[in-house]
A and B are shown apart, each in its own frame.
Chain A
Amino acid sequence: MPKRGAPPEVNAGSMADIAFLLLIFFLVTTTIETDAGLDRMLPPIEPPDTDVIIKQKNIFQVNINRDGQLLADDELTNIKDLRAKAIAFLDNGGAPSGTADYCSYCKGKRDPSSSDSPAKAIISLKNDRETKYGTYITVQNELVGAYNDLRNREAQRLFKRDFTDMEAEYLNPETPDNVREELKEKVKRIQDLFPQKLSEAETSSN
């Protein structure tokens, strides 16, 4: 009768080699992608049916020239000061108390010659055709940063939490639905307090 021992063991000595081979393949092909950036909405191409008249004082004009210099509200400005200026403009709340536009949560100077309320305030960004993309992104970043700073302030006051943090959790697909529903309302509320009105006009060619 033939001897019936245990079946012979598979030699696993080369397992490490195979695994190393695969490991090296993935190491080489890996590019940890940087898929993050500034989200923006472009204006639709059809002009709106009704002409909306916007008061000059509600527009914060930012111009970038070909050398990367910045003109904010007709003043030559350093890019480092742009965020503070944009915040001052958005948070101004110039409408007198009692009127429909009165902004109760604004902490600005309430200068009647600047914006009426955050809902009315518009930032208009213009650039030259020869402006460097890097400069443009820096300016965009500062303007979005100004909105985020203000929204964070309001979110801290109302919900004791940063707006950017709440929004990130809301946009994360792994967040459970019930948490999301709750966040949606909060995010919406803060967005309504400081709506992002950042207009990108067509480029001037001179």
Chain B
Amino acid sequence: MSKFNKKKDAALPAVNTASLPDIVFMLLFFFMTVTVMKDSTLKVENVLPNASEIKKLEKKDRVIYIYVGKPTREYEKTYGTESKIQLNDKFADASEVGDYILMERAKKPQELQNVLTTALKVDKDANMGIISDIKQELRKVNALKVNYTTYEGDAFRNLQ
């Protein structure tokens, strides 16, 4: 029975952690590749509506963003509760949209200037009035390609 007695005093072997860095690195690379750094802090509420017939915006360098929504709580006092437009990092009026688009367009390389898309990230509770104003401004500066950015989902959920 000496065969079994041998192990009697042996402590539980330590778990080998040598492969732990590899596992962590794998996770790290996953998150590094999917990460998109936020380029502007949102000052407006931005719950996008759902839609099912969507197309992906493939190339990030060809997109200009416009955010619309109610100012978040910390800006409520100064800017009220009506829906506002946010361009880059500040609130703006609909009349400034045209200039903003021209400015952003001038920053892009020449060959991309004609293929830019304007992504409208609009809160689903915003009114269409402000969107119509933006669209009118976009038409004035000939930025006709727009993308109403949405979440993927059932469009009828917007109605609730």
Q: CB within 8 Å of B: which residues of A?
A: 12, 15-16, 19-20, 22-23, 26-27, 29-45, 68, 79-80, 127-138, 140-142, 144-145, 148, 164, 167-168, 171-173, 200, 202-203
Contacts and interface: CB of A to CB of B under 8 A. Distances in A.
B66 interface: no
Contacts of A34: 48, 149-152
Contacts of A137: 49-51, 124, 148, 150, 155, 158
Nearest to A42: B144
Contacts of B24: 16, 19-20, 23
A142 B51 CA distance: 9
Interface string B140-160: 101111111111100110110
B34 interface: yes
A148 B21 contact: no
A127 B132 CA distance: 9
A35 B57 contact: yes
B156 to A, nearest CB: 6
Contact of B158 (A12, A32, A134): A134
Contacts of B124: 132-134, 137
A26 B129 CA distance: 39
B128 A39 contact: no
A26 B123 contact: no
A185 to B, nearest CB: 20
Interface stretch (B2-10, B35-43, B87-95, B108-116): B35-43
Contacts of B119: 35, 37
Contacts of B129: 129-130, 203
Contacts of B31: 23, 26-27, 30
19 contacts: A20-B24, A23-B28, A34-B149, A36-B57, A36-B152, A38-B148, A38-B150, A40-B146, A80-B156, A130-B127, A133-B123, A133-B124, A133-B127, A133-B128, A138-B49, A138-B158, A171-B55, A173-B58, A203-B128
A141 B52 contact: yes
Chain B: number of interface residues, binned into ranges = 35 or more
B16 interface: no
Tell me whether chain B's interface is mostly helix, strand or loop, or mixed. mixed
A31 B39 CA distance: 11
B36 A36 contact: no
Given A27-B31, A130-B129, A35 B21 contact: no
Contact of B156 (A29, A79, A129, A144): A79
A127 B20 contact: no
Contact of B57 (A37, A44, A164, A167): A37
Nearest to B144: A42
A16 B142 CA distance: 53
A31 B91 CA distance: 23
Given A26-B28, A129-B132, A36 B125 contact: no
B25 A134 contact: no
A41 B143 CA distance: 9
Given A38-B150, A203-B128, 16 more contacts: A20-B24, A26-B35, A30-B34, A36-B57, A37-B55, A40-B146, A41-B144, A43-B139, A129-B132, A132-B127, A133-B124, A134-B158, A137-B150, A171-B56, A173-B58, A202-B136
